[in-house]
Chain A
Amino acid sequence: MKMISVEHLAKTYQRGDGTPVPALRDLTFDIEAGEFVTVRGASGSGKSSLLNIIGCLDTPTSGTYRLAGEDVSRWTDEQRSHLRNQRIGFVFQSFNLLPRTTALENVELPALYTGGPVDRGRARELLGRVGLKDRADHYISELSGGEQQRVALARALMNDPPLLLADEPTGNLDSASGEAVMELLTELNREGRTVVLVTHDERTASYARRELLIRDGLLASDRPLGQATEEAGRRPALTMVVGR
């Protein structure tokens, strides 16, 4: 089943003075359910713009975006809000946890917007899953960056979404914390969740099974990545691509 299907996707922003900024020009690709895909590209190449559209936070200027077969780019803001709530888990580079709030309350957030009751037990369980069982009632300011990102991961899982989107999730972390987060994402992907990851970092990218390279809003390459064990052999090619 196709989880994500984009066709001739384009996004043009308007600058303050009215000049158009084409961030995405013409993108066409599919992502099957259960894939682990990384999106790479230079700064300003349009990675975040693409992820925002995939995450239903933004709509394309032209082209179509289908999520699980449905053309959601035509949906209303309210419908897309429900979609984000039910089907998509976000992980951001800067964590985006609510300050002066406990880890547990942060994890519960998505459940507040489901219309149903909040399953506090599940929130605790998820915190246990990311290794923060005893940090549940700590305030965010009392947690390290790595712990905060794991809280964010637990939050992304609260409503059990099939699709996880991560925009530079390790960008603000040291390598050990970053690896822990990537291990978790890999595990979640193995469970069958589709993961789309935006990153600059090769090591981070190497956890994925497929790489989409974006340049100037266009798809420069789309190729599979080897297993972690094959990684060493593939490195030169990867470096060449990035180096261009």
Chain B
Amino acid sequence: MNALTTLRIALRAILRSPLRSLLMLLGVAVGIAALIAIASVGEATRRETLEQFKRMVGTFDVVNISPGGARTRGMPSLTTVEPTLTFADAEAIRGGIPNVRRLATEQSAFDIDIQYRDRTATSSVWGVSADWMDIRGDEATVGRGISAEDNASVARVVVIGPDVRTALFPDEDPIGKTLRIAEVPFEVVGVLAPRGAGPGGSSLDNLMLMPVTTASKRLFNRDYLTGVTVQLQDPSKFDAARDAITILLRERHGIIPPVEDNFTISNPRAAVESVEAVGSTLSSILTGVGAIATLIGGVVIMTLMLMAVAERRREIGVRRALGATQRDVLRQFLAESAVIACLGGILGVVAGVAIAAVVAAQRNLPPVLLWQVMLGAVGVSALIGIVFGLQPAWRAARVDPIEALRA
């Protein structure tokens, strides 16, 4: 008997007992739907987290140098960091490390009160050098960014984030207006493009940029940095760059082992990897869910197929009398359970994708279609049908035709 005939007989048998077929189908579909929904939402969450992280750090292909040792945690702020990283350090790196393409310095501080006329707001302030916006990938949608001239002339100019604009200039053009940061007047020269949500969904747009020279000399009166961002010619040579910078800074800071470094060199990729690690925990949870779903679907298939075999002994006897071999009968029942399981898998995938779409819409996650997982789920379903259909099919093949026909 050829495969097509087997399939046709299977389909007829499936249609002949619609209720039982539907039950088996659902048994598989429920598990697969859960699997697909969890996988899709999980992947969407992972991608969104990664995206949020990327929006926060701007770019992955850089070397970040921050003051303080490895145990320093959180966002570096002028009020919390050790005063170990200096403008001179930055210049030494720029001049002494071969792989450096561009370099940006920054002085950041948080929860700074700002005022425009009778409106007030609280925002972070970032003193930045000329290349900072470019390296990070920030742009001004209105006006301009912080330039080298601004830094050279120690200009009292700011580029404000969209949140600051909303808070202070809800219905007027901010360009050219003067706002006060800790009583120091600054002229607004630009508005940053929105970055969107950062880790945890918090806004990344409540900030102000100004020349790092101005921040240092006119606002904070500090001559150390909260961070140096180095863009490499060849980002893949991160390790070499880190080692070179480490040697350079140790020498400049007079650090001799076993004294620990008073600076930290990191790469956003490392942080990305920790996010990816969360993803892999997720996938191991998924594997568990998948196994349980498989088991439930398989048990349903096996139970109902055993019932079907018991009920259809006579049919089996007739087929055997008419020339069906044991193998024909085995194949027929296997095809039945495999086809049903496969259809159940397809239904489950469709339902799972629908559930994931609803959840994603509610949580503002990007829509995700995991083709490989979907295809795999259908394949696994067919496999469930075959594996769990094997015992019933075997039993069907072993039906004694004489006994089955006598009844």
Q: Could you tell me the distance between the alpha carbons of A112 and B1 in the complex, rounded to whole angstroms? A: 7
Q: Is A77 an interface residue (CB 8 A)?
A: yes
Query: Complex formed: what's the CA distance from A180 to B326 in Å?
Result: 35
Chain B: minimal CB distance from A126 (Å): 14
B401→A110 contact, CB < 8 A: no
Residues A155 and B16 in contact, CB atoms below 8 Å apart: no
Say which residue of A81, A96, A115, A118 sits within 8 Å of B318 (CB atoms). Answer: A96
| Cβ-Cβ contact count across A and B, 8 Å cutoff | 66
B2 at the interface (CB under 8 A from A): yes
Q: Are B317 and A113 in contact (CB under 8 A)?
A: no
Interface residues of B in 321-368 (CB under 8 A from A): 321-328
Quote the shortest CB–CB distance from A101 to chain B (angstroms).
Answer: 7
Q: Which of B219-253 touch A at CB < 8 Å?
A: none
Whole-angstrom distance between the alpha carbons of A159 and B322 in the complex?
10
Chain A CB within 8 A of B405 CB: yes
A55→B323 CA distance, assembly (Å): 11
Nearest CB of B to A77, in Å: 6
Which chain B residue has the least Cβ–Cβ distance from A98? B315
Alpha-carbon distance A101/B131, docked complex (angstroms): 79
94-108 of chain A: CB within 8 A of chain B? 96-98, 100-101, 105
Q: Do A110 and B322 touch across chains, with their CB atoms under 8 A apart?
A: yes
Q: B residues within 8 A CB of A105?
A: 12
Q: What residues on B are CB-neighbors of A114 within 8 Å?
A: 323
CB interface residues, B 1-53, toward A, < 8 Å:
1-2, 5, 9, 12, 16
Chain A residues with Cβ below 8 Å from B12 are 101, 105
CB-contact partner of B323 in A58, A82, A96, A101, under 8 A: A82
- Knowing A77-B326, A78-B326, A81-B325, the reply to whether A92 touches B320 (Cβ < 8 A) is no
Q: Is A57 at the interface (CB under 8 A from chain B)? A: yes
CA distance A97 to B315 in the complex (A): 8
B326 touches A57 (CB 8 A): no
Give min CB distance, B385 to chain A, whole Å.
21
Interface size classification for chain A: 20 to 34
Identify which of residues 45-102 in chain B touch chain A, using a CB-to-CB cut-off of 8 Å.
none
In the complex, B277 has a CB within 8 A of chain A: no
- Closest A residue, CB atoms, query B324: A113
Contact pattern, A 189-211, Cβ under 8 Å of B = 1, otherwise 0: 00000000000000000000000
CA distance A63 to B5 in the complex (A): 38
In the complex, whether A84 has a CB less than 8 A from a CB of chain B is yes
Whether B325 lies near A82 (C-beta < 8 A) is yes
Residues on B with C-beta less than 8 A from A218 are none
Contact of A115 among B1, B9, B405 (CB under 8 A): B1
Contacts of B402 in A (CB 8 A): 52, 57-58
Cα of A100 to Cα of B15 in the assembled complex, Å: 10
Contact of B405 among A78, A84, A92 (CB under 8 A): A92
Q: Is B156 an interface residue (CB 8 A)?
A: no
Point out the residues of chain B lying under 8 angstroms from A58, CB to CB: 402
Most chain B CB inside 10 Å of its own CB: which residue of A81, A96, A101:
A81
- Interface contact A101-B1, CB-CB below 8 Å: no
B144 at the interface (CB under 8 A from A): no
Does B319 count as interface, using CB distance less than 8 angstroms? yes
Is residue A86 contacting chain B, with contact meaning CB distance below 8 A? yes
CB <8 Å contact, B324 and A81: yes
In the bound complex, CA of A55 to CA of B402 (Å):
11
Does B314 sit at the interface, judged by CB under 8 A? Answer: yes
User: Does A85 reach chain B (CB closer than 8 Å)?
Assistant: yes
Asked if A109 is at the interface (CB within 8 A of a chain B CB), the reply is: yes
B residues near A159, Cβ cutoff 8 Å: 323
Q: Are B327 and A109 in contact (CB under 8 A)?
A: no
Closest B residue by C-beta to A55: B321
Chain B CB within 8 A of A36 CB: no
A113 near B323 with CB under 8 A, answer yes
A65 at the interface (CB under 8 A from B): no
Contacts of A98 in B (CB 8 A): 315, 318
10 A-B interface contacts by CB (under 8 A) = A81-B325, A82-B323, A85-B323, A85-B324, A90-B322, A98-B315, A105-B12, A109-B318, A112-B9, A118-B5
The 7 closest A-B pairs by CB, nearest first: A85-B323, A113-B323, A81-B325, A110-B322, A96-B318, A100-B16, A78-B325
With A57-B320, A96-B314 already in contact, 10 other A-B pairs whose C-beta atoms are closer than 8 Å: A81-B325, A81-B328, A84-B320, A84-B321, A85-B324, A86-B323, A97-B318, A110-B323, A112-B5, A118-B5
Q: Which residues of B contact A (CB under 8 A)?
A: 1-2, 5, 9, 12, 16, 314-315, 317-328, 401-402, 405-406
